[in-house]
Amino acid sequence: MSGITAYGAYIPRGRLNKQAIAEANSWFDASLKSLSKGERAICNWDEDVITMAVEAGNNCLVSKSDVSLHSLYLASTTFPFLDRQNSVVVSEALNLDNQIRTMDIGASQRAGTSALISLLESDCEGSAMLVASEHRRSKAGSRAEMQWGDAAAAVLVGSENVIAECIGIETIAVDFVDHYRGEDASFDYDWEERWIRDEGFMKSVPTVVDKLLEAASLNAEDIQHFVIPTDQARNPGAIAKKLGIKAEAVVDNQIAQVGVAGVAQPILLLAKALENAAPGDHILLTGFGQGCDAVLLKATDAVSTYKPAVGVSAAIDSRREETNYNKFLSFNNLVERDIGKRGEADKQTYLSGYNRRKDLLTGFVGGKCRECGTVQIPREKYCVNPDCNALDSQDAYAFSDKQGTVATWTADRLTFDWSPPAYFGMVQFDGGGKIMMDFTEVEEGTIDSGSKVSVHFRIRQFDPARGFRKYFWKAVIEQ
C-alpha cells in the first residue's frame, strides 16, 4: 500500500499587509483595493526556493528521523539555478545519504502533483520525499502581487506507517496556455481570468475527476477534502458544484492569509487537509497546468495519531507583520537601490575552496573527537580540547538540528546588509561547540545574551556579477 507517510510545511514569517500594496499603487489602479483584504507571505531577503525547501523538508523528516530515503524530488518554477541541480543542495543541507536519487521538476504549475504521482507509482522500496517550493516574482501593482505568496511543503511517500493511502490517479496533458514565462522574461504573462476559468478549469478538472471517481467506484459526495489550487477565489466553489462535491469539502486556498504559492500550493493544501482529516476520509488532490492531475487518497487510522513537527496551521501562526511595501520591492529586486560603497565588494566564490568545506557550509557539520568526546565546529585536524589535542580524531557531527544560546551579539549599521542592521555574534551550542554566526529574522529588542536560538539554512551573500548565491546557516531567536 503506497501513500503519504509524513508531511511538513514552511511559510516565511514575513506577512505583508495587502492594504499597504493597494495604497502604494492606488494612484494608478484603484481596483486593487478590492483585493486588499488580509496579507501575503513574503520571503526575507535571505530566503528562496532552496532555503524554504530545506525548512519544509526538515519539518517533514523530524517525525521520521529513522527513515532512509531513496529519492528526493524538488518541484518549482522559480529555481535559483537554471544549470545546477537545486535538489542536490537541498539534499546536502538535510544531510541525506549521497546515494540518493535527486531530481528537479518544473515548467508547469502542476509540477508538484506530477512529481507526487511519479513517486506514488514508483516500484522502489523504501521512502521518497517530494518538496515543492515557490518564490514567484510579480510586477508591482499587479493582481498577482496581491494574490500570490511564498511557501514550501514536503511529503514522504512510502508503504509503511501510511497516513493516507493512494487509491487512484488520473491525468490529462493539454497545452492550455493560461499563462507563461519565456526564456528571458522576469515575470509571467497571463490571459483573461474568465476564459481561464471557463475553458481551462471548468473543462479539464471535471474530465479528470469524473474518470477518477468512476474508476474508484466513488461518488462526488464521498469526498471530504477537495484541493483545487487557484488564485481565482470563486473557482473552487464553482468546480465543486459542477462535480457534485460538497461546498464544505473545498480546502481554502488561504489567499487572505498566505497567498497562492504556485507549484507548492497543492502540496501545501494537501498537508492542510491531512491535518484535519479523520480516518476513512477521502482527499481529492488536483493540480492544474497544461492539463490536470488528480490523486485520490484515503486517510488511514494512523492519521489521527500523526503529529507533524510543523504543519500548515503552525506555519501560518508563526508570523511577523510587515507594512513596508518598499522593503518587499527591494527584497524582490523590483527596484534598483543604491547599496553604497560597502556593498560593492566583489563576492566571487572560489569553487574549489567551497567544495573542500562543503560539509560545513551546506550541511553545517562539525566534528566529535573519538578520543575524548569533545564536539567542535568547524571540524579541524586537531581536537580543540587542550587536554586532548588528538590528531585526525574528528568524526562528522551535525549541528543543523542543535539548539544554542547567544553568548555575544552585535547590531552593526556600518557593515553592509540587505536589511540593516546586520546582527551577528557568538553562539554556544547545547552539548558543546561554538561558532560566530549571523542572526536573521531579528526584531529589535528581542535578542540578548542568553537568548535561545535554532539554526536555519539561508542565503549568505549574492554574487550578481556571476549569478551565484552563497548559502550558509544562520541563527534565529526562538519565539
Domain spans of the chain, in order of start: 3-331, 365-397, 399-477
pLDDT for 64: 80
As a dihedral over the C-alpha atoms of residue 258, residue 259, residue 264, residue 266, rounded to 10 degrees, the angle is 100
Give me 460's grid cell.
Answer: 549568505
- Residue 294: which of 151, 126, 173 has the closest Cα? 173
Write out the H or E segment, with its range, that includes residue 113.
helix 111-120
The alpha carbon dihedral of 266, 270, 271, 272 has a sign of positive
Cα gap 40→258, rounded to integer Å? 4
Contact call for residues 38 and 148 (beta carbons, < 8 A): no
Q: Categorize the per-residue pLDDT at 357 as very low, low, confident or very high, splitting at 50, 70 and 90.
A: very high
- Residue 10: which of 310, 321, 227 has the closest Cα? 310
By DSSP bridging, strand 189-190 and strand 179-180 are antiparallel
Averaged pLDDT for residues 404-421? 95
How confident is the model over 369-408, as pLDDT tens digits? 999 999 999 999 999 999 999 999 999 999 999 999 999 9
pTM given for the model: 0.97
- b/e map 128-152, b = 16+ CB within 10 Å: bbbbbbbbbebeebbbbbbbbbbbb
Per DSSP, 198 falls in state I
Contact call for residues 97 and 479 (beta carbons, < 8 A): no
Q: Flag whether pLDDT at 88 surpasses 80.
A: yes
Residue type, 101: R
Q: Does CATH number 3.40.710 belong to domain 399-477?
A: no
Cα gap 93→112, rounded to integer Å? 21
- Residue 48: which of 23, 71, 76 has the closest Cα? 76
Q: Could you tell me which residues come within 8 angstroms of residue 156 by beta carbon, excluding any fewer than 6 positions away?
A: 4, 5, 6, 7, 60, 61, 64, 67, 69, 127, 128, 129
Give me 176's grid cell.
Answer: 492550455
Query: What residue ranges in 145-233 does DSSP mark as E strands?
Result: 151-158, 164-173, 179-180, 189-190, 225-227
pLDDT for 27: 95
Phi, psi of 194 (to 5 degrees): -65, -40
Contact call for residues 132 and 153 (beta carbons, < 8 A): yes
Give strand pairing partners of 293: 171, 287
Q: Flag whether pLDDT at 1 surpasses 70.
A: no
Cα gap 399→395, rounded to integer Å? 13
pLDDT for 93: 98
Contact call for residues 165 and 298 (beta carbons, < 8 A): yes
How confident is the model over 433-455, as pLDDT tens digits? 999 999 999 999 999 999 999 99
How long a stretch of residues is the chain?
Answer: 479
How confident is the model over 6-43, as pLDDT tens digits? 999 999 999 999 999 999 999 999 999 999 999 999 99
- Residue 46: which of 392, 453, 475 has the closest Cα? 475
Give me 32's grid cell.
Answer: 486593487
Per DSSP, 252 falls in state P
18, 21, 33, 77 from 141: Cα distances, Å: 11, 7, 11, 22
Cα gap 132→119, rounded to integer Å? 13
Cα gap 423→192, rounded to integer Å? 45
pLDDT for 341: 76
Q: Flag whether pLDDT at 286 surpasses 80.
A: yes
Cα gap 225→272, rounded to integer Å? 10
Residue with cell 521512502: 127
Which CATH number is 3-331 given? 3.40.47.10
Q: Categorize the per-residue pLDDT at 193 as very low, low, confident or very high, splitting at 50, 70 and 90.
A: very high
Residue with cell 532552496: 50
Cα gap 76→174, rounded to integer Å? 20
Number of H helices, E strands in the chain: 13, 22
Q: Flag whether pLDDT at 342 surpasses 90.
A: no
Q: Could you tell me which residues come within 8 angstroms of residue 65 by beta carbon, excluding any fewer than 6 positions away?
A: none
Cα gap 437→472, rounded to integer Å? 9
Q: Residue 54: helix, strand or coil by DSSP?
A: helix
Q: Categorize the per-residue pLDDT at 221 as very low, low, confident or very high, splitting at 50, 70 and 90.
A: very high
Q: Could you tell me which residues come within 8 angstroms of residue 281 by beta carbon, excluding any fewer than 6 positions away?
A: 224, 225, 298, 299, 303
Contact call for residues 156 and 269 (beta carbons, < 8 A): no
Cα gap 360→394, rounded to integer Å? 13
Q: Flag whether pLDDT at 146 surpasses 70.
A: yes
How confident is the model over 39-55, as pLDDT tens digits? 999 999 999 999 999 99
Cα gap 237→197, rounded to integer Å? 12
Give me 478's grid cell.
Answer: 526562538
Cα gap 124→324, rounded to integer Å? 48
Percent over 90 (pLDDT), the chain: 94
